[in-house]
Amino acid sequence: MTPRIEFASEKKLVVKRLTMSYADYRIGELWRAFMPRRKEITNNVSNDLISFVVYGPTHFSDYKPTNEFERWAAVEVENFDHVPAEMETYILPSGLFAVFHYTGLSTNSAAFYQYIYLEWLPNSEYVLDDRPHVEILGEKYKNNVPLSEEDVWIPIKLK
CATH number, residue 89: 3.20.80.10
Q: What is the pLDDT of residues 72-91, one digit of tens each?
A: 999 999 999 989 999 999 99
Angle at 93 between CA 88 and CA 98, to 5 degrees: 120
The single-letter DSSP state of residue 78 is S
**Mean of the per-residue pLDDT values for the chain?**
95
What is the rounded CA–CA span in Å between residue 75 and residue 14?
Answer: 6
Of the candidates 12, 5, 7, the one whose C-alpha atom is nearest the C-alpha of residue 125 is 5
Number of domains in the chain: 1
Q: What is the pLDDT of residues 86-128, one digit of tens each?
A: 999 999 999 999 999 999 988 788 899 999 999 999 999 999 9
In angstroms and rounded to an integer, the radius of gyration of the C-alpha atoms of the chain is 15
Query: Measured between alpha carbons, how far is residue 112 from residues 26, 42, 109 in Å?
Result: 20, 34, 5
The pTM assigned to this predicted structure is 0.93
Range of the domain at 37: 4-158
Residue type, position 64, single letter: K
Q: What was the pLDDT predicted at 143?
A: 85
Question: Percentage of residues in the chain with pLDDT exceeding 90?
Answer: 89
